[in-house]
A and B are shown apart, each in its own frame.
Chain A
């Protein structure tokens, strides 16, 4: 069954980054891109006078041209449909479209950050990262990979409720036959019983224990199977700050990182946590942020991996 990704497109460089990421995510998968341009909506209370309807027609035509340009940039092996969607705000329009079009993910671009930064979360991405009901993928500035995705890195920390982010990563890696890297992020100073051991075996064990503890048993078993089969690896990164810890990670060009939402997120909604926000500063690859308690894709049981059966 074809699944859908919603691309929040704008006719700018970071809009094209989003498009590139969506293409990379869809490449080789049974995924159709819904390329959406959000048309701003004149609220009746805006007090705009005189009432000029001609403007809306001109705007509509321009949006259509931008959409056409976006569709022309998509290679022939990736299915895509264009949409002009409406919303009182860009984020609202995208969320509504994602729900109506049954998309499992929203892809947007990050704006150009400062020196050495790949990300600066713009207002639209920020709004999405704090309210989307489906995972949001952020394309770093200047993203030019063409896919397919080679590895998925699942980042989780020592807190309960990582089941959504680990589940999604395991599921996605299996479906895509991509590598999986389970990364446990430990900030020194955090109270944690996890022993830091240099040996690979001990490290694997530690991470897998964390998967069991912060995810669930079923996920722990699946992860262990994948590690044993050589399709998954584990890593513990530590540091005083997120920036230091992230320095220990190396990245593949076609990699995607997956992080969870803050505990402040309402169930089923996304809320970018402070740790994830800091990661954004140092991750050079696209980052997918998963809503809290996202069980995902319940309508697509045919594709469900083991993660699908987890208890919430």
Chain B
């Protein structure tokens, strides 16, 4: 007697262990606090502040609080569109599939590429920041200041960074991931150390102990004081980088104990906490160090790449060690978890034949995207090596290029939301706001930011001031990555035309789409 049950995914899933949904997500385990912790951990504030605040201060000076508040608005508007798409087409949720459904294969391909490029760039930056603070921490522990200088030696810096990337890729390939306890500790520690830094800096500044004490002005919160639109655009695309990851809480549903209320509340609390931390840190740094271009000033180009590496010591004294630990741990944890993201998008693109099918390979042993993970790690390693060799301020330039890339794929995705729902936009007031108005404004704003920043970055003096052939480094990096995408897309179109002929993913709108986008191979 033979009982052969066909192993259809649907059927097998119904037999799976209790407490999980059909899609491998843990259900109903995350409470409000947990969701906030997840949101903050995805932003990794200690890392974003040290690498993003410097370039932002370089652009907008003391108006950082204003630009942070302003930069959050398009992020929020786009996130509403994301949530709509995520709720409607939960089983195929990436910028790549959504944009393909809405705008067809070419825009969809570039949307996916934008996401991959953004995550690959942030990987290289995360690894580099982790390496900087690794050597700084070594110096602080041993009391040997020359160890911190090792990171400026390219023969030490680049290999160490590549090792960090390789380790993170291996962990990701093995399918190992952070646990609840680890995330609580990492997030709690980051907030504590950042809070401690800000309080120490403010107390010192107001007792006359700062480097260039600059009393806080209410005008710092007023974006209208920034007269130049280009500066505004640059600041916003940087602040979008600093909020990147926040919207993860909005896309959590089944995992939360109360899917109706938890995601929205968690997103609200997360953003309040993050804005508080950012604004407090920005105020403290500017009040303590000023925005001057000399010495410890936050406007000094030598300090822009990693503000905390420079300022933590003078402000916190021996406790600067804690800052190094906080940034090293948060950037390495992010490095490892972010590694998953481009790999999964590459895998999806391989699966839908938008890339050679080899990218769709899943490791039988670890059940993770093997080829795609290796490809992501190699891309991050390659991107970092090239940038480091070409630019004197690699980290600064990558962060600015990253802001560009996020604006691009976020913008594409938000507009994809509007177009995908084009036949269901005005069903109710709710849909008018969340499917039409918010994502449309958010998407348009981000696309405008993208084009203005891209245009301005052609100026060789833009950002850190590195340039190649008379063109700004940020422009070369950002456009180089996008042009590379176009080349790869054309190559794939010629070699593997199936996707581009609509054989795997068809153009759909929300009414025609039966949401079962899976291939039947």
Decide if B337 is an interface residue (CB 8 Å cutoff). Answer: yes
Whether A50 contacts B25 by the Cβ 8 Å rule is: no
Decide if B464 is an interface residue (CB 8 Å cutoff). Answer: no
Whether A61 contacts B518 by the Cβ 8 Å rule is: yes
Whether A51 contacts B86 by the Cβ 8 Å rule is: yes
Contacts of A41 in B (CB 8 A): 20, 24-26
Decide if B245 is an interface residue (CB 8 Å cutoff). Answer: yes
Inter-chain CA distance A3–B97, complex, in Å, is: 45
Given A48-B340, A64-B8, A79-B2, decide whether A54 and B17 contact each other with a Cβ distance below 8 A: no
Whether B115 contacts A44 by the Cβ 8 Å rule is: no
Of B3, B13, B115, which one neighbours A60 at CB under 8 angstroms?
B13
Given A40-B367, A54-B92, decide whether A49 and B12 contact each other with a Cβ distance below 8 A: no
B-contact 0/1 string along A8-39, CB 8 Å cutoff: 00111001000000000000000010000011
Decide if B255 is an interface residue (CB 8 Å cutoff). Answer: yes
Given A57-B92, A58-B351, A64-B12, decide whether A45 and B178 contact each other with a Cβ distance below 8 A: yes
Interface residues of B in 239-283 (CB under 8 A from A): 245, 247-248, 251-252, 255
Contacts of A60 in B (CB 8 A): 9, 12-13, 22-24
Decide if A274 is an interface residue (CB 8 Å cutoff). Answer: no
User: Shortest distance in angstroms between B190's beta carbon and chain A's nearest beta carbon?
Assistant: 13
User: Shortest distance in angstroms between B245's beta carbon and chain A's nearest beta carbon?
Assistant: 5
Inter-chain CA distance A294–B74, complex, in Å, is: 62
Contacts of A230 in B (CB 8 A): none
Whether B17 contacts A96 by the Cβ 8 Å rule is: yes
Chain B residues touching A, range: 35 or more
Decide if B362 is an interface residue (CB 8 Å cutoff). Answer: yes
Contacts of A79 in B (CB 8 A): 1-3
Inter-chain CA distance A50–B337, complex, in Å, is: 10
Given A52-B94, A57-B92, decide whether A83 and B15 contact each other with a Cβ distance below 8 A: yes
Inter-chain CA distance A74–B357, complex, in Å, is: 29
Whether B30 contacts A86 by the Cβ 8 Å rule is: no
Whether B348 contacts A51 by the Cβ 8 Å rule is: no
Decide if B392 is an interface residue (CB 8 Å cutoff). Answer: no
Whether A63 contacts B337 by the Cβ 8 Å rule is: no
Interface residues of A in 50-94 (CB under 8 A from B): 50-68, 71, 76-87, 93
Decide if A288 is an interface residue (CB 8 Å cutoff). Answer: no
Contacts of B20 in A (CB 8 A): 41, 86
Chain A residues touching B, range: 35 or more
Decide if B353 is an interface residue (CB 8 Å cutoff). Answer: no
Whether B365 contacts A12 by the Cβ 8 Å rule is: yes
Whether B90 contacts A53 by the Cβ 8 Å rule is: yes
Given A11-B364, A97-B17, decide whether A52 and B341 contact each other with a Cβ distance below 8 A: yes
Whether B518 contacts A57 by the Cβ 8 Å rule is: yes
The residue on A at minimum CB distance from B92 is A54
A-contact 0/1 string along B26-45, CB 8 Å cutoff: 10011000100110011000
Decide if B501 is an interface residue (CB 8 Å cutoff). Answer: no
Given A56-B24, A57-B23, A62-B362, decide whether A71 and B179 contact each other with a Cβ distance below 8 A: no
The residue on B at minimum CB distance from A11 is B364
Decide if B182 is an interface residue (CB 8 Å cutoff). Answer: yes
Decide if A192 is an interface residue (CB 8 Å cutoff). Answer: no
A-contact 0/1 string along B363-382, CB 8 Å cutoff: 01111110000000000000
Besides A47-B337, A49-B341, 9 new A-B residue pairs in contact (Cβ under 8 A), listed by A number: A40-B24, A43-B179, A46-B340, A50-B95, A53-B90, A56-B91, A61-B519, A62-B362, A80-B2
A-B contact pairs, 29 of them (CB 8 A): A11-B364, A15-B364, A41-B20, A44-B26, A44-B180, A44-B255, A45-B180, A47-B38, A47-B337, A48-B177, A49-B42, A50-B248, A52-B341, A52-B344, A58-B347, A60-B13, A60-B22, A61-B519, A63-B367, A66-B364, A67-B12, A68-B6, A71-B5, A81-B5, A82-B5, A82-B12, A84-B12, A85-B15, A86-B24
Q: What are the 8 tightest A-B residue pairs by CB atom distance, in nearest-first order?
A: A67-B7, A84-B12, A47-B337, A46-B177, A11-B364, A82-B7, A56-B23, A54-B92
